[in-house]
Chain A
Amino acid sequence: MTHTYRVDIDGMHCHACERLVTMNLSAIPGVTVLAADAQEGFAIFTAEGAVDAASVESAIVAAGFTPHGSAVTLEEVEWETPEAASEAPEAASPVDTAPDEPLPAATAADDAEADDSCDTGACPTVPPAPDPAIMAASAAAATASASLGIIGMTCSSCQAVIERTLQRMPGVGSAVVNLAAETATVAYDPHMLTVDDLVSAVRAAGYDAVPRDEDAAPGTAGDAQREAQQKHIRGQKRLFLFSLAFSIPLLLLMVPSIMESIPLIVSELLASTFGGAWDPMMVFKYLSFALATPVQLIAGAQFYRGFWHALKRRTGNMDTLVAIGTSAAYFYSVAATFVPALHNEPVFFETSALLLTFVILGKLLEARAKGRTGDAIKKLMGLQAKTARVVRDGVEVDVPVEHVRVGDIVVVRPGEKVPVDGVVTEGSSAVDESMLTGESIPVEKREGDTVIGATLNKLGSFRFRATKVGAETALAQIVKLVEEAQGSKAPVQRFADRISAVFVPVVVGLAVLTFLVWLLVVPRFVDPSFYADVTPFIKALLAGTAVVVIACPCALGLATPTAIMVGTGKGAENGILIKSGEALETAYKIEAIVFDKTGTLTHGKPVVTDVELAEGHDVDRVFMLAAALERGSEHPLAESLIAHAKERAMHLPHVEGFAAVPGHGVEGTVDGMHVAFGNRRLMAAEGIDIARFKDRIGALESEGKTVMLVGVNGAKLAGIIAVADTLKGNSKEAVARLTQMGVEVYMITGDNRRTAEAIAAQAGIAPDHVLAEVLPEHKAEEVAKLQARGLTVAMVGDGINDTPALAQADVGIAMGAGTDIAMETGGIVLIKNDLRDVVTAIELSRATMRKIRQNFFWALGYNSLGIPVAALGLLKPELAGAAMALSSVSVVTSSLMLRRFKPSMAKNA
């Protein structure tokens, strides 16, 4: 069945933005976009069957925009035909397209005439559209997704080159490249393209690519990529040592005493060997040339290749700047060496060679540091057990964990790791789940309890039936989720992308300007003695080269993704799964947080809290009577009584004549006595006087407890039992901490106000922040009301009946997901049922954003301070090269500092 949905989108500004949204949404299987309107900020599309909100959100984010209110809210709508739309011009009908006709063709055709440029300048980089018809067909038919590992990217300009290369391919719906994770995610039409075609295109763009097998065992998807990266790093290491081997003698040649003696000795050697006359000055130049040339041509070849590929695409990247900078110094020196008219000019071979050496060193250190940003994933992968002991044909055999099948009975002995997910069938033990949940106290496991793969069995032994294996296990899904989050782009990244996109041409322009000013303007205003050592041309050349080199935006491109990688990894270590960079970014802005009451602030299961007895009765007797009756009841509160009775090992007698009295309670005969168990109305109907307990009942109810009365033989009240859903141990602490952090804390519940306020009071939530008597379907509206006040709102719930509210909130936090982390709702999933993790998630988000801002400072600081210094001729090009390399290293190192993040509450716990 086809449904038509509307999704509101923030950030679109122009036709090109509409096209991007259309392309990306159309890449979702079964989705056809009917309209995308930048002005009104929405898209309308049809979907065959149910559409996955997370896919829609990913498509929007991948296009560079944000769903309105941060999380996708899919609103089913009736779409007007074009005729109807033309009759109602005031209605939002941005594109005149028949509903059953895919929009992209129309949109793209419109775009052929429309101006793609954005007045605001706030649009993400939009790939130029190739043939609109091909575009449309590609977008609509892109039904397959491929993940590639990319090798050889140096800065966000490289990222943009690859994205553009892939996006321009007919058959590609969307392509998102992550610089830090070094991955590309491509939606494409398998009828038009193969993964090999995508790999070839990336290679033709001057980079290397390897397909990542996303269906492989957990964490192995990137094995080929890691191998290729290791190979690349080894190659870079060799090049660095090679460059260093030539650069150090070259550098030593610059030391005055060595500069004098070595060329002289060599000249004498040459004269005695070959005869003739040798000029030590020229010998010095030849020596420098001989040392610098291998560096320039061999170690520098990669930069020329990158420069060439970028040039072919009429773009620029770090390679462009390095190639220009080093070539200026090198080729001028070559001319000064071999052109007789320039024999008296100085050479700068050491500049080019040292610059290349420093840049390669910087890349190496950066690759090394970048590798550490993915440590969290490696750590998670390392948790998996290698083998499992399963029962096959009645015999326990050890098999590789990959060979465990669903339904296998797995034996776990003390101290062993649980190999896969399952349900305990025999035995009991305590299992340390801290590696996945962060919870340090081992969890008791008995028959019927679920166990998670990769957790550690403590002292007992047990057997369990495997329920999830391979890529289905909780660990595999956590790894996948974290990998996806690390590969996602946070909106703040757009800032860096926009700057990087214009940086290279601006820098080259600045360098040319610097050169011209130094060559033509400065000499008119300075004393000739200023040029005692070098000519104006040389001064101009050095200043221009330094500007080119210092300005490379490579550090800028790493500022966001490295911090997001470390931040999401750190979250996973603490049992907090942050599903996208966007969720991590939004969480720091949270001003109001809405907790669902049941199951979130409270345990979600009512328990017996109070028992009051009438004279002549004892607890066991009253309980026995009530529990015996409730055994036949389907009332939710019955469970708490039965559980309580079980805990006290009570024998529950048979009930005769059981009857449920709707809205009142239950009654029946127990041990020959007529027992009524229910509310005041039931007691009144039975003619039982409860006057003596009235005050007590009122007091208990004011505490939010449900009070049930036990009447015996239609005359006497035996006692009262109060049942309540109790507050979780750490709820109060978490609420207090959140309030301290300046976050407004709300509680939302379907309960009556009195009960709600009682629980809220226990949690420390003010009565005016209690949203009571709200039906599940209206929770989203309450969240929206808070958003309408201009607040950034997080909703914390169990992700089942809170789905719309979680989706409506700016950040949805799904609690207590436990092993079922496949849940789609919520930008943040908490594995544990611990409210303190909400605090940790916000703290982590704040720490990550702080780190991103620091990174921007480092990255832009180098550039913005370095460029004027270089333009003033105060920075030697080789020092500029070192500074550029250091800026990338400092940004990545700064991100790695985030690994020291410690949750404030866990520390105090």
Chain B
Amino acid sequence: MIPESLARRVALTILGVLAAGALALSGCTTASTDGSHPADGVWGYVADADDAQLEISGTATADELVVDRVLSPSDAWLVVHLDDDGTPGMRVGLQHVTEGESLDVAVALEDVTTEKLIVAVHADKGVAGEFDFSMDDPMGSPDRPYFVDRAELAVVVDVK
């Protein structure tokens, strides 16, 4: 049987440690609590593989790309970038798609200068029908891309 005074002392010590820890932690946390740290590189919208899919079987031309199938949990944008050493570069094409499945969606391209293009699906969460995304402030932009299984929902396409 633990004496009551000892139990109280232990409880107080635990409380003290917790309070001190809480103080230390609250003092250590960064001032910004806007969740701006991308977790595992996930900085867009998380979707399940059953709800967000992108399929492109062919190649692109300098003027156009046809997306065979896109499945989106909400209204979305098909965004085509130049391939900048494996990362999305300048945007060269943009096409709005509605929630759900869209087939054979053609995306007009311009200023294609690379041999490969990167096609990503961005949510249309800002003003509907307006692509609200800035490369200068990707985290602050509402129309960020979808991520499935912690990877951006994107496909690399060859340019013919």
Chain A interface (Cβ < 8 Å from any Cβ of B):
244, 247-248, 251-252, 254-256, 259-261, 263-264, 267-268, 270-272, 275-281, 284-285, 288, 343-348, 350, 354, 357-358, 361, 533-534, 876, 878-879, 882
Contacts and interface: CB of A to CB of B under 8 A. Distances in A.
Contacts of B150: 264
Given A268-B46, A277-B73, A259 B22 contact: no
A346 B32 contact: yes
B89 interface: no
A248 B40 CA distance: 24
B35 interface: yes
Nearest to B30: A256
6 contacts: A254-B25, A259-B39, A272-B48, A348-B33, A354-B22, A879-B27
Interface in B104-157: 123, 125, 139-140, 142, 144, 146, 150
A264 B42 contact: yes
B153 to A, nearest CB: 10
Interface string B12-38: 000100110011011101111111111
A416 B137 CA distance: 85
Contact of A281 (B19, B23, B29, B36): B36
A533 B73 contact: no
B158 interface: no
B33 A254 contact: yes
A533 B47 CA distance: 28
Contacts of B26: 251, 254, 350, 354, 876, 878-879
Contact of B46 (A254, A271, A344, A534): A271
**Most chain A CB atoms below 10 A, which of B35, B48, B74, B139:** B35
A255 B29 contact: yes
Interface of B: 15, 18-19, 22-23, 25-27, 29-40, 42, 44-48, 50-52, 73-74, 123, 125, 139-140, 142, 144, 146, 150
Nearest to A252: B25
Nearest to B25: A251
Given A272-B48, A279-B45, A343-B142, A263 B35 contact: yes
Secondary structure of the B contact surface, majority rule = loop
A715 to B, nearest CB: 82
A876 B27 contact: yes
A557 B9 CA distance: 28
A263 B33 CA distance: 13
Given A254-B25, A344-B140, A533 B32 contact: yes
Contacts of A533: 30-32
A278 B30 CA distance: 24
A347 B32 CA distance: 8
A764 B135 CA distance: 94
Contacts, number: 114
A272 B148 CA distance: 10
A346 B73 contact: no
Contacts of B29: 251, 254-255, 350
B148 to A, nearest CB: 9
A315 to B, nearest CB: 31
Contacts of A259: 33, 35, 37, 39
Contacts of A255: 25, 29
A534 B74 CA distance: 30
Contacts of B23: 879, 882
A271 B48 CA distance: 5
Rank and list the top 7 A-B pairs by shortest CB-CB distance, nearest first: A260-B39, A277-B45, A346-B34, A267-B46, A254-B29, A281-B35, A284-B35
Contacts of B146: 277
A237 to B, nearest CB: 10
B5 to A, nearest CB: 13
Contact of A280 (B30, B35, B74): B35
Given A272-B48, A533-B30, 15 more contacts: A248-B22, A251-B22, A256-B37, A261-B39, A264-B150, A271-B47, A271-B51, A277-B51, A277-B74, A277-B146, A278-B47, A280-B35, A354-B22, A876-B31, A879-B27
**Most chain B CB atoms below 10 A, which of A252, A271, A344, A361:** A271
A361 B19 contact: yes
A280 B46 CA distance: 7
A271 B149 CA distance: 11
A559 B45 CA distance: 55
B103 to A, nearest CB: 20
**Most chain A CB atoms below 10 A, which of B18, B26, B48, B142:** B26
Given A244-B18, A254-B33, A533-B32, A277 B52 contact: yes
A248 B44 CA distance: 27
A268 B146 CA distance: 12
A62 to B, nearest CB: 38
Nearest to A539: B31
Contacts of B73: 271, 275-277
Contacts of A345: 34
A534 B32 contact: yes
Given A251-B26, A276-B51, A264 B46 contact: yes
Nearest to B153: A277
A535 to B, nearest CB: 11
Nearest to B15: A361
A248 B18 contact: yes
Contacts of B36: 281
A284 to B, nearest CB: 4
Given A247-B22, A248-B18, A878-B26, A275 B50 contact: yes
A518 to B, nearest CB: 14
A281 B33 contact: no
Contacts of B32: 346, 533-534
A741 B138 CA distance: 76
Contacts of A357: 22
B48 A347 contact: no
A277 B124 CA distance: 11
B101 to A, nearest CB: 14
Contact of A260 (B15, B37, B51): B37
A878 B25 CA distance: 11
A255 B23 CA distance: 13
A405 to B, nearest CB: 39
A271 B123 CA distance: 14
Contacts of A281: 34-36, 139
**Most chain B CB atoms below 10 A, which of A259, A261, A280, A878:** A280
A280 B144 CA distance: 12
Contacts of B25: 251-252, 254-255
B75 to A, nearest CB: 11
B46 A278 contact: yes
**Most chain B CB atoms below 10 A, which of A244, A344, A358:** A344
B142 A534 contact: no
Given A259-B37, A284-B35, A346-B34, A278 B18 contact: no
A93 B88 CA distance: 96
B62 to A, nearest CB: 32
Contacts of A277: 45-47, 51-52, 73-74, 123, 146
A268 B39 CA distance: 12
Nearest to A885: B19
